[in-house]
Chains A and B, each alone.
Chain A
């Protein structure tokens, strides 16, 4: 009787846990392992038995000038983008901190682009900044020269970073606002009673207390920007002349346009490792910085 109930409970537990676990294992854990395996093959996406080619894909990856350029663009986007997202995120969080109807409205306005898909954001900005786009039509009608927002490689890279920041910093604002709630008000009051200026209070009280928030925001921005793909497709299509291709863009292009999924897998394994390493290093550096600040 007793064991009958226990067996029934065991069955119920299995019914509750097994489906999620199996599906997760098949479609997430197995693929992560497969990514490593496929990176050692010449899989084209169709053949059932891809040939194992060892480390060839990794060797090719080192000598690929396209990939080197894409890596540079990606690091630039991630670096400058992270700086932009966090400076604007923290700055605006300080500006719209505090309960009021106006602040709720401002937060909504800063946040709304995040709700749109990156694909739509890219098409929209390309209609605004393209050669015949809204801004250039406006300029040329007043006798000005066309500005190459998307047609010059350097301009296009900067434009892409700017659009990424425009579309994303609202999230950082909200995350920093959450962090600001955790800063003890008594500390800020104490600083003000001691005659600290606004800047001194921010620099010596608010910012150190925001430490963990800064770490989360920086790591998050970095990880998100390192896999920039949708916006490249819609804003520049990788152009002009492939100069704004990111690593994620090349991975999918090589894999599905050129049918070189083995090579694409090698690139995605490297991207995954580099992303994890960067996130780890930033977290460690921030932690060391925080302990140093406390001494």
Chain B
């Protein structure tokens, strides 16, 4: 009895969690009158791809360009983050010197700074460096936001890898850089995967930083700022809202369903960073 009550309750909750997604999907294939007349109904008689096609061809926001730009940012930030944080974390994890322990604390302090607080002074820094409104400036800032937690996580992971591996490589004449990239880095796959998942979602979903650093004037839209440009003024034209939102979330949802186990554990690790 208790078992059925539990399952019934969870089924009802599942329904409640999924209704918004259902509304989003079915209404992306209906004209405005039908959305207003039967917002929860299936578009059985009039399934139309007209509005989805229109959303794909929106002059305000080219969604394919949005995907490409966002993907470029996601890849650049991930690569830069690994290249910068990996070696630094290795030195910090392997060195007994006091100055590297201080360096760890220095990086750790950054995990407590909310990026909203940073965005105003970062505008000042980027203007001074001539990087405001540029892809380089944006990618560098997003990368920096990933560094504290990456270094923390990587250093923790590296310290579980036996140091005898390094010594063996050293005896064979490999320098520090070579030892890290050839011996240690390949062993860090799980923790790097976690960080990549984490960074992918945070860059893809970021709204404030691209909105302000890239600005509406640059014509560079990520998926998120593009959705804002396309939807915010037409929020009651549901033939714009639903197809655009569907296109914006589809890649992430597919990625999530395929990789959900890794993503949930990765995002959980990220959530605890404070």
Name A residues whose Cβ lies closer than 8 Å to a Cβ of B.
8-9, 12-13, 15-17, 19-21, 23-24, 26-35, 38, 43, 45, 92, 95-96, 102, 104, 106-120, 123-128, 130, 132-135, 137-138, 141, 166, 171, 174-175, 178, 216, 219-220, 223, 227, 229-230, 233-234, 237, 248, 251-252, 255-256, 261, 264-265, 268-269, 271-272, 275-276, 279
Contacts and interface: CB of A to CB of B under 8 A. Distances in A.
B77 interface: no
A6 B61 CA distance: 55
Interface in B12-32: 13-14, 17-18, 20-21, 23-24, 27
A23 B144 contact: yes
4 closest A-B pairs by CB: A134-B39, A16-B87, A117-B205, A34-B121
B14 to A, nearest CB: 5
Contacts of A106: 10, 13-14
B125 A27 contact: yes
Interface in B74-99: 84-85, 87-88, 90-92, 95
Contacts of A31: 118, 121-122, 124-125
Contact of A38 (B20, B124, B249, B261): B124
Contact of B147 (A24, A126, A138, A248): A24
B274 A17 contact: no
Contacts, number: 243
Contact of A24 (B10, B110, B224, B238): B110
B207 A16 contact: no
Contact of B253 (A19, A33, A115): A115
B103 A132 contact: no
B163 interface: no
Contacts of A256: 212
B175 A171 contact: no
Contacts of B117: 32, 35, 268-269, 271-272
Which of B129, B206, B272 has the largest count of A CB atoms less than 10 A from its CB? B272
B49 to A, nearest CB: 19
Contacts of B123: 45, 261
Interface in B216-274: 224, 227-228, 231-232, 235-236, 238, 241-242, 245, 248-249, 252-253, 256-257, 260-261, 263-264, 267-268, 271-272, 274
B36 interface: yes
Interface of B: 6-7, 9-10, 13-14, 17-18, 20-21, 23-24, 27, 35-37, 39-40, 84-85, 87-88, 90-92, 95, 100, 103, 106-107, 110, 112-114, 116-125, 129, 140-141, 143-145, 147-148, 151, 175-177, 180, 201, 204-208, 212, 224, 227-228, 231-232, 235-236, 238, 241-242, 245, 248-249, 252-253, 256-257, 260-261, 263-264, 267-268, 271-272, 274
A123 B245 contact: yes
A35 B123 CA distance: 11
Contact of A35 (B84, B121, B231): B121
A127 B241 contact: yes
A4 B92 CA distance: 23
Given A28-B113, A223-B274, A227-B114, A119 B260 contact: no
Contact of A137 (B9, B37, B144): B37
Contacts of B245: 120, 123-124, 127
A166 to B, nearest CB: 8
Contacts of A38: 120-121, 124
A162 B116 CA distance: 23
A237 B233 CA distance: 11
Contacts of A268: 116-117, 120
Contacts of A28: 110, 113, 118, 144-145, 147-148
Nearest to B32: A132
Given A23-B140, A115-B256, 4 more contacts: A13-B95, A28-B110, A171-B268, A174-B271
A120 B106 CA distance: 35
Contacts of B208: 229-230, 252
B120 A118 contact: no
B103 A17 contact: yes
A279 to B, nearest CB: 8
Contacts of A233: 207, 228, 232
A116 B91 contact: no
A13 B121 contact: no
